[in-house]
Amino acid sequence: MIENEIKYVLKLTTNPDDIGGDVEQNFPAHISQGYLDKSARIRKTQFQAPVGLKLRDPFYKFTYKFALPTGEVEEFEKSIGQDEFDRCFELAQNKLFKHRYTFKHDGAQWDLDYFYDPNGTLYFVMAECEMPSGWDKPKSLPKVIRDNILMVVDRNNSAQYSSKKISNVEYAKSLISVFTKVEKVKPRKTRESMREARAALLSK
């Protein structure tokens, strides 16, 4: 499967109740994810049930991804068992925990991800728009995205905002810190300051 997506870094105050529209799940998916190397990952997904009920039974996936020259991503995925996941998760180089809301808007699918540290503290929010082949941007932005954007990720720098990178809590917090500072700069200097701040981060 080839992915054609664009990412948006959002404010920590982004409220999932503002999604509206065609939400695939009424409750978020709880995701535990581990990276085995640069391209391979394992994932446990468990959908939240209504209040008072237990989480639904989880399912497990192994995924291998690599970037294409077009900026799209080729992805291969297979189901695995709990034992396989548990063994690999112990060996994972990077681990992350997030809640995901999936919904459709104007012909594209959106994943709104809330990243939590091992103590359950929210530290990063990012949306991914999965578009049909041939699109270079979504036709329009959902209100929950439009009202909370800190940055539209340049597709040439998308790897710097991968979930694997964001699993490093301090790295992710440094991104948020930069965006917060940029918001306080006078409007005529904002674009230049953001470029300089992003270049400084990517040079590390």
Each residue's pLDDT tens digit, 92-121: 989 999 999 999 999 999 999 999 999 999
Q: Report the predicted TM-score, pTM, of the whole model to 2 decimal places.
A: 0.80
Mean pLDDT for the stretch of residues 15-22: 81
Nearest to 64 by CA among 82, 45, 98, 41: 41
Residue 60 in this model has a pLDDT that exceeds 80: yes
Q: Which CATH number fits domain 2-202: 2.60.40, 3.40.50, 2.40.320, 2.60.120?
A: 2.40.320
- 123 or 26, higher pLDDT: 123
| Structure token digits, residue 181 | 């500072």
What's the pLDDT at 25?
57
Q: Are 19 and 149 in contact (CB under 8 A)?
A: no
Task: Write out the DSSP string of 163-203.
Answer: HHHHTSHHHHHHHHHHHHHHHTS-HHHHHHHHHHHHHHHHT
Helices H / strands E in the chain, number of each: 5, 11
Q: Are 188 and 115 in contact (CB under 8 A)?
A: no
Residue 18 in this model has a pLDDT that exceeds 70: yes
Mean pLDDT for the stretch of residues 139-147: 94
**91 residue type, one letter:** L
Domain residue ranges in the chain: 2-202
Mean pLDDT for the stretch of residues 64-69: 83
Task: Write out the DSSP string of 122-143.
Answer: EEEEEEEEE--TT-SS-SS--H
Mean pLDDT for the stretch of residues 139-149: 94
% of residues, the chain, pLDDT over 90: 58
What's the pLDDT at 186?
41
Mean pLDDT for the stretch of residues 67-90: 89
| Structure token digits, residue 2 | 């080839």
Of the listed ranges 55-59, 85-89, 97-101, the least confidently predicted one is: 55-59
128 CB-near residues (< 8 Å, 6+ apart): 5, 6, 7, 8, 110, 111, 113
